[in-house]
Amino acid sequence: ETVRVPIPINLTTINTLYGLNLTSEELERWYEDRAEPVEHARTSEDVVVSKVGRELYEKFFRGYTRKQWGLDPSELDAQVTARIPTRTTEDDRYFGDAFQCMPLHGYTAMFEKMLANPRIEIRLGTDYHDILHTVAFKKMIFTGPVDEFFDHRFGKLPYRSLAFQHETQDMEKMLPAPIINFPTENVPYTRITEFKSLTGQEHPDKTSVVYEFPRDEGDPYYPIPKPDCTALYNRYKELADSTPNVYFVGRLATYKYYNMDQVVGQALAVFDRIERESEAEVPSIMRPTPKMDAVLGGVS
């Protein structure tokens, strides 16, 4: 039987799924009664069963994770499922941030405006290796795969990718929520997103949706969070840390499963670091606003 419930798991999820009428306090005890003791939560399976028990783990997490990563949660680091909250209230938001928004005119327009500067030159479809020795730079910010930067010296780091199937439907709305996740393995896609529910667009006769199919091959989207991959990345990190005037930023360059806000925070922190370093290099009487002579790399 198919049941539509909120995710992350919350009070409404449990009451709907099990036909209960629990309060928040009762749900907290309900979780505790089903949780399995785990001394050290090392894997994604450990994290979930230690919080809410094995039944909810099987219903919501195991199949979805196996589809998303091509690996069982018992093989993945704890961080994968630790990033998903479990609540005792009716709060059905994924993120708990006080301020959450979308750019008024979309992300494309936002980035176009950020790049509309005469001091910025954009070269698309260009491998940084091809221009490395023809473009003079003082600082480089690299956001592509870190193993690619070093010509896969220690071997390729594995990444998970996605295939997107876009469809336009002849109806005003197709989904009851902006995103519907499908945690069972008998459905090949992980989720469907209906864009107009996120952007506020209004159209009475058409709607656009996308189906997401996880893949091993394709553009690198997700670093694989498991011990052997982390060990390989750490070898590349040693090279990155010892490479002067190059700053590695983003999911691919630091091999971390960052959310968008975390990457923005990382970028701002790196800029502050470069600014401090630039001020230290120039006598105070001559200090200008720091200039990035070349920003190279892929967008993560």
What is the per-residue pLDDT across 94-113, written as a single tens digit (0 to 9) for each? 988 898 888 888 889 999 99
- pLDDT of 297 reads 55
Tokens of 195: 């864009």
Residues 54 and 203 grouped into a single domain: no
The domain tally of the chain equals 3
Average pLDDT for residues 2-20, to the nearest whole number? Answer: 96
Residues 67 and 206 grouped into a single domain: no
Q: What 3-state class would DSSP assign to 51?
A: helix
Is residue 99 a part of any domain in this protein? no
Predicted structure pTM score: 0.86
94/261 Cα distance (integer angstroms): 13
Q: How many residues are given for the chain?
A: 300
Residues 173 and 270 grouped into a single domain: no
Angle at Cα 63 formed by Cα 62 and Cα 65, nearest 5°?
65
90/277 Cα distance (integer angstroms): 47
Residues 33 and 55 grouped into a single domain: yes
Average pLDDT for residues 134-152, to the nearest whole number? Answer: 93
Is residue 119 a part of any domain in this protein? yes
Place 283 in a pLDDT band, splitting at 50, 70 and 90: low
Q: What is the pLDDT of residues 197-246, one digit of tens each?
A: 998 889 999 999 999 999 999 999 999 999 999 999 999 999 999 999 99
Residues 186 and 148 grouped into a single domain: no
Residues 163 and 186 grouped into a single domain: yes
Pairing of strands 246-248, 140-142: parallel
**CB distance 154 to 143 below 8 Å:** no
144/234 Cα distance (integer angstroms): 16
Which residue range is the domain that position 166 belongs to? 159-215
Place 134 in a pLDDT band, splitting at 50, 70 and 90: confident
Q: What is the pLDDT of residues 253-267, one digit of tens each?
A: 999 999 999 999 999
Residues 140 and 278 grouped into a single domain: yes
Residues 234 and 271 grouped into a single domain: yes
Mean residue pLDDT of the chain comes to 92
- pLDDT of 137 reads 86
Residues with Cβ within 8 Å of 75's Cβ and at least 6 positions away in sequence, in order, are 43, 226
Residues 149 and 31 grouped into a single domain: no
Residues 137 and 166 grouped into a single domain: no
> In a 10 Å sphere around its CB, with 0-12 CB exposed, 13-18 middle and 19+ buried, how is residue 235 labelled?
middle
Is 145's pLDDT higher than 50? Answer: yes
Residues 148 and 228 grouped into a single domain: yes
